[in-house]
A and B are shown apart, each in its own frame.
Chain A
Amino acid sequence: IAGITQAPTSQILAAGRRMTLRCTQDMRHNAMYWYRQDLGLGLRLIHYSNTAGTTGKGEVPDGYSVSRANTDDFPLTLASAVPSQTSVYFCASSREGRGEAFFGQGTRLTVV
């Protein structure tokens, strides 16, 4: 089934640990995004990539890094997790970086 797959579904992480959230899409979309969703704040963009090999910073990039080595994969890394990074993380993609976005099912991350 075409779409976006995120892993893991949920994770409890000790503060200070490094963590990579995985995101893979099979729709050959050029643009991919990472958002965090916190209660009452809607979605906030962390990083994005308009095409393989390029990335950009969103609204809340600090403490996160991304890479886009190929079209399908867009991993998000927390180098040293802090409790304020407790959130639900969504990966999304769109065909040409405009119009309809397709979302993964999310990763619920708790940093303790």
Chain B
Amino acid sequence: SQQGEEDPQALSIQEGENATMNCSYKTSINNLQWYRQNSGRGLVHLILIRSNEREKHSGRLRVTLDTSKKSSSLLITASRAADTASYFCATEDSNYQLIWGAGTKLIIKP
């Protein structure tokens, strides 16, 4: 069964704006990961945040994790057309299995 649920399901913004996507999960986790999938392609790992971390940065990406609320957010700053893709969160459980959400489809309008 799916653990992660992304919100919103779809997001359309203007180039240059910030994009925020959220992920909620149900059980305890080792870490939470965010991936990007361009249309018709495989998934690419973006960032991993461990359960004892609260915030992590990578370039224009900022991820937060609130284990008390069982939620995470992915912020993409200064969006570009190339950021158009689907974004998935995946939680690693105590058995080291990744459990995936249904994804957020992000469209960056030029």
Known contacts A40-B102, A41-B102; is A48 also within 8 Å of B97 by CB? yes
Interface residues of B, CB < 8 Å — how many? Answer: 24
Please determine whether A106 and B41 come into contact, CB atoms closer than 8 angstroms. Answer: yes
Known contacts A41-B2, A98-B96; is A104 also within 8 Å of B45 by CB? no
What is the distance, in angstroms, from A103's C-beta to the closest C-beta of chain B? 4
Please determine whether A105 and B41 come into contact, CB atoms closer than 8 angstroms. Answer: yes
Most buried by B among A43, A92, A106: A43
B40, B92, B97: which contacts A45 (Cβ < 8 A)? B97
In the assembled complex, B11 has its CB within 8 A of some CB on chain A: no
Interface residues of A, CB < 8 Å — how many? Answer: 24
In the assembled complex, A74 has its CB within 8 A of some CB on chain B: no
Please determine whether A42 and B103 come into contact, CB atoms closer than 8 angstroms. Answer: yes
What is the distance, in angstroms, from B22's C-beta to the closest C-beta of chain A? 15
What is the distance, in angstroms, from A40's C-beta to the closest C-beta of chain B? 6
Please determine whether A59 and B42 come into contact, CB atoms closer than 8 angstroms. Answer: no
Known contacts A41-B102, A98-B92; is A90 also within 8 Å of B33 by CB? no
B4, B31, B43, B102: which contacts A103 (Cβ < 8 A)? B43
Mark B residues whose CB is within 8 Å of A.
Answer: 1-2, 4, 30-31, 33, 35, 40-45, 48, 88, 90, 92, 96-98, 100-103
Enumerate the 6 nearest inter-chain pairs by beta-carbon distance, A residue then B residue, closest first.
Answer: A103-B42, A43-B100, A42-B102, A42-B100, A98-B96, A103-B43
